[in-house]
């Protein structure tokens, strides 16, 4: 199992625009039916194939609020869209549906609980970027899975506001998306020669 930050991003690295909208994402066609357009070996990086491998879900309060707005804007009652055990990282007093728990402590604590609940499957960090960064800070983020969208936003919520060294594992094309899977190596130093372990691990790999 692994802890994976899987999300979509604009070409310039934003996961939502400056109005917290994802209209640019939903307007982008996916599902490339041309097998010649796929790169890499093994199972595809199709999101529909990712979900069955997920055993637990973790997301931040802002991401949860966005999901809540999107699923209730037409007057429908809110239903959490994932059946897996889920945690919302928040200090707010939220009225959460069954199967969704709030956590206000260190991400190491929720990581332990989510890993146990996942029972050998992956833990999905839904977002946002800073929450994924907190897992990376604690050395708990294993992979970053990005579906890059051919649109430039100029401003918005950043993909992952940290200096991290990643190692590319796979790249595929899915319609207009470029799906990329990376292994997290470690913190990226600001100057050549600074010692934090990432450069050495990257060189050895």
Q: What is the pLDDT along the chain (205 residues), one digit of tens a residue?
A: 999 999 999 999 999 999 988 999 988 887 654 444 433 444 567 888 889 999 999 999 999 999 998 889 888 899 999 999 999 999 888 889 988 999 998 999 999 999 999 999 999 999 999 999 999 999 999 999 999 999 999 999 999 999 999 999 999 988 889 999 999 999 998 876 665 555 555 555 5
Q: Residue 146, Cα to own-chain centre: how many angstroms?
A: 7
**What is the residue-wise DSSP string for 55-96?**
EEEEEEHHHHHHHHHHHHTTSPPP--S--S-EEEE-SS---P
Structurally, the chain folds into a number of domains equal to 1
Q: What is the pLDDT of residue 192?
A: 66
Q: Look at residue 46 in the predicted model and tell me its pLDDT.
A: 80
Can you give the CATH number for the domain in which 87 is found? Answer: 3.40.430.10
User: What's residue 98's pLDDT?
Assistant: 87
Residue ranges making up the domain that contains 88: 3-143+152-159+168-204
Task: Please state the pTM of the whole predicted model.
Answer: 0.86
**Within 73-128, where are the H helices?**
107-118
């Amino acid at each position: 199992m692994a802890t994976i930050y899987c999300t979509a991003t604009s070409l310039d690295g934003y996961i939502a625009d400056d109005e917290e909208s994802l209209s640019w994402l939903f307007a982008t066609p996916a599902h490339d039916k041309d097998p010649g357009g796929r790169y890499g070996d093994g199972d595809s990086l199709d999101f529909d194939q990712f979900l069955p491998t997920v055993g637990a879900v973790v997301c931040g309060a802002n991401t949860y609020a966005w999901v809540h707005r999107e699923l209730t804007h037409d007057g429908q009652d809110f239903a959490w869209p994932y059946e897996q055990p889920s945690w919302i990282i928040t200090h707010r007093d939220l009225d959460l549906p069954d199967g969704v728990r709030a956590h206000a402590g260190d991400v190491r604590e929720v990581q332990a609980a989510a890993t146990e609940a996942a029972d050998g499957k992956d833990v999905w960090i839904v977002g946002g970027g800073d929450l994924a960064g907190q897992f990376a800070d604690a050395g708990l983020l294993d992979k970053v899975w990005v579906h890059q969208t051919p649109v430039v936003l100029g401003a918005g919520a950043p993909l992952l506001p940290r200096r991290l060294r990643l190692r590319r594992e796979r790249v595929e094309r899915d319609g207009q998306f470029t799906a990329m899977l990376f292994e997290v190596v470690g913190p990226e130093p600001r100057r050549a020669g600074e010692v934090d372990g990432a450069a050495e691990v990257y060189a050895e790999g």
